Amino acid sequence: MFKNNKEYIHDPKLNYSFISLLSNKINVGVIGGGRAGFIKIKHFLNTGCYIEVISKDFCEEVINLSKEFKEKLTLIKGEFNYEFLLNKHLILITIDDKRINDNIKGYCNKNFKIYIESSNFQDGMGVVPVQRKLNNITFAINTNGGNPKGAVMLANKVQELLKDYDDFIKLTTNIRNKAKKLSKYKKEIIDFISCDDFKFFYDNNKETLILRLYFDEEILKELGI
């Protein structure tokens, strides 16, 4: 029997459990069309999720997003209803009506849906991290105490650091994917390329040379080298 996880939501010792969702398979439902939800709506649109927003009114920023992301964002004008929640994987609560908010959270807990509350992140089940994407690397950062500006600062610094690894990750990902066909040597190859030593040779344009020194021609041919 599953343990009741609701008791941990208000635990002052917060722990985050990260998971990378395949955005094009995720339906997000947003209750409230004001500025409180605008940034989160924009975040999930930029990552490729499909979003429906239900609200009696919509702020100009959200309306503009619906024009820009016509196929990904649907605005539903009207009162909240539970039917709206049925086909959603993730729920964003961005209104200030405590009674409605509590009812939504009760429904989500009963039906095992993930929800985020914008008014107080500890009243929800998760937070939206600061996310950055390079050509071959995607990463996200949270601070443990709730410090969005600090997370943005850190994300910018980490992004600059990771730029030096972006093309390297592309190379090693290609090698890894080909190495999966070589079950006997797969672990050895992946361990060899996933380290700072191999990065050093890559930085000095010697990655092919060092691979040829360590692996047989037959293996290299399978790796496309």
pLDDT in tens, 165-191: 999 999 999 999 999 999 899 999 999
How do strand 138-141 and strand 130-133 relate by DSSP bridges?
antiparallel
8 Å CB contact between 6 and 109: yes
What does the alpha-carbon distance between residue 221 and residue 62 come to, in Å, rounded to a whole number? 53
List the end-to-end C-alpha distance of the chain, in Å, as a whole number: 51
What does the alpha-carbon distance between residue 205 and residue 176 come to, in Å, rounded to a whole number? 19
pLDDT in tens, 28-56: 999 999 998 899 999 999 999 999 999 99
Q: What pLDDT is attached to residue 2? A: 56
Q: What pLDDT is attached to residue 11? A: 52
Q: What pLDDT is attached to residue 122? A: 86
Task: Give the domains, in start order, of the chain with CATH numbers.
Answer: 6-128 (3.40.50.720), 130-225 (no CATH)
What does the alpha-carbon distance between residue 184 and residue 12 come to, in Å, rounded to a whole number? 48
How far, rounded to the nearest angstrom, does the alpha carbon of residue 184 sit from its chain's CA centroid? 34
pLDDT cut 70: percent of the chain above it: 94
Q: What pLDDT is attached to residue 32? A: 96
- What lies within 8 Å, CB to CB, of 92 at 6+ separation is 28, 29, 30, 31, 32, 37, 40, 41, 115, 116, 118
Q: What is the mean pLDDT of residues 115-143?
A: 93
pLDDT band per the 50, 70, 90 thresholds, residue 9: very low
Least confident stretch, 74-83, 122-131, 198-207 = 122-131
